[in-house]
């Protein structure tokens, strides 16, 4: 073999190695870009394999709080409107706001009933019109009374400790007030549209004196009786937060999560490719049953889009990981796929979860936009039983 042939073989070998390395590493590259000075993380259909990051989550059911159970019903808890979990793992379950008696039921981390509190009424320490909020970093339970523009504050033992005057009108639907670690407030208020055909849900950052700092997002809700056509499921918008930031998804933007810091600055956009899921015949039949006793004028307005929204729910854990529940089929007939993003916005894992999130006929997000919580390596989610009753399920989370 002469020197020229030897050199050619080396060049070919090097090219093959380079091409092989390019082909195997290219799918693993994390695509990022910048738009108007904001980082955009672009995620593909499959999770990125990152060393040290689990790619699959497995859930093991530990116990349930079942409203069909006679002992639970005997407490006065016959329906679950929502819930939250404090830093110690105690569970606070909320009844529908117009229920009579106590509205909040506290259970210990092992599911043992502790006490109920926040009685509905007009007296001292009582709650006349309740909209439940997330438990804050001090383990305080906040209940908004939109009719009187105030927050009723209870400690983790269920004792009423103070009231906070909101000083702004937030509306009675879809409102949310969350105190941030820096003392600012994240507030979502409902604003009637000038045409009277619906509401705008406006999410803004406010200072400690309830002066608006910056608007973060706005989302429209149609009034079913004042529009020509009414879409089901209704359009969705969700929020969640960690100690470092606020995350908002709005269906109008597709599968895109906006990440803000505690001062309201847009820090990052997280995008993900997704497979659209067709609206099923079962979903349409279920909606038909829910609308059986509604006015005919409403039934004739209802229409279904060809596909579900890209997400059903958004929530974060206490380690800064983000979870997006989709409409994609999970491991069980009633399960759905949950996409998991690490604190850098990278799609790293999936899990399958059965959960009953909200009634698509009622409201896009419900009481405080959260029927799922993940804290202290435990996942909590509401689930609708075949009997029609709702139960809160507590899972242990395993990462593989």
Q: pLDDT value at position 384?
A: 86
CATH of domain 38-399: 2.120.10.30
CA distances from 335 to 19, 326, 332, 351 (A): 41, 10, 5, 10
Residue 225: the pLDDT is 85
What's the pLDDT score for residue 360? Answer: 59
The pLDDT of residue 17: 40
**CA angle 362–178–327, rounded 5-degree value:** 40
Residues 6+ apart with CB under 8 A from 121: 127, 128
Looking at residue 33, what is its pLDDT?
A: 96
Instruction: Check residue 221 and give its pLDDT.
Output: 85
pLDDT of residue 371: 80
Full pLDDT tens readout for the chain, 400 residues: 554 554 454 444 444 444 444 443 344 568 999 999 999 999 999 999 999 899 999 999 999 999 999 999 999 999 998 899 999 999 999 998 889 999 999 999 999 999 999 999 998 889 988 888 889 989 999 998 877 888 999 999 999 999 999 888 877 655 788 889 899 999 988 888 988 898 888 999 999 999 999 999 998 888 888 999 999 888 888 889 888 899 999 999 999 999 999 999 999 999 999 999 999 998 899 888 888 888 888 888 999 999 999 998 899 999 999 999 999 999 988 899 999 999 999 999 999 998 866 565 554 444 445 688 999 999 999 988 889 899 999 999 999 8
- Indicate the length of the chain as a whole number: 400
Beta strands 302-303 and 230-231 are parallel
- Domain residue spans of the chain: 38-399
In angstroms, the CA 352 to CA 223 distance is 34
Q: Assess contact for 66 and 72: CB atoms under 8 A.
A: yes
């Amino acid at each position: 073999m002469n020197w020229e042939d030897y050199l050619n073989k080396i060049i070919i070998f090097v090219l093959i190695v380079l091409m092989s390395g390019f082909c195997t590493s290219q799918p693993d590259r994390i695509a990022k870009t910048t738009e108007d000075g904001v980082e955009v993380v672009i995620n593909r259909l499959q999770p990125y394999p990152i060393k040290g990051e689990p790619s699959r989550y497995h859930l093991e059911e530990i116990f349930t709080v079942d409203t069909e159970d006679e002992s639970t019903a005997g407490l006065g808890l016959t329906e679950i409107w929502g819930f939250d979990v404090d830093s110690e793992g105690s569970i606070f379950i909320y009844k529908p706001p117009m229920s009579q008696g106590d509205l909040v039921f506290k259970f210990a981390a092992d599911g043992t009933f502790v006490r109920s509190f926040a009685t509905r009424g007009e007296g001292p320490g009582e709650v006349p019109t309740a909209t439940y909020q997330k438990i804050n970093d001090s383990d305080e339970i906040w209940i908004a009374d939109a009719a009187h523009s105030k927050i009723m504050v209870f400690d983790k033992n269920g004792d009423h400790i103070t009231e906070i005057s909101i000083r702004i009108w937030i509306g009675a639907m879809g409102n949310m007030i969350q105190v941030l670690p820096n003392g600012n407030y994240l507030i979502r208020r409902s604003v009637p549209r000038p045409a009277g055909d619906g509401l705008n849900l406006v999410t803004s950052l406010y200072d400690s004196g309830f002066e608006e700092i910056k608007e973060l997002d706005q989302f429209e809700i149609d009034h079913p009786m004042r529009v020509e056509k009414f879409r089901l499921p209704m359009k969705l918008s969700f929020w969640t937060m960690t100690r470092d930031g606020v995350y908002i998804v709005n269906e109008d933007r597709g599968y895109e999560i906006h990440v803000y810091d505690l001062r309201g600055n847009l820090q990052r956009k997280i995008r993900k490719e997704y497979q659209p899921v067709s609206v099923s015949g079962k979903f349409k039949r279920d909606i038909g049953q829910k609308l059986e006793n509604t006015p005919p004028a409403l039934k004739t307005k209802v229409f279904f889009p060809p596909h579900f929204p890209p997400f059903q729910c958004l929530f974060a854990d206490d380690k800064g990981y983000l979870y997006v529940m989709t409409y994609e089929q999970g491991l069980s007939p009633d399960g759905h796929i949950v996409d998991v993003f690490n604190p850098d916005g990278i799609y790293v894992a999936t899990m399958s979860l059965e959960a009953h999130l909200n009634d698509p006929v009622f409201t896009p997000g419900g009481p405080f936009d959260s029927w799922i919580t993940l804290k202290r390596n435990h996942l909590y989610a509401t689930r609708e039983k075949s009997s029609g009753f709702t139960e809160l399920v507590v899972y242990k989370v395993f990462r593989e």
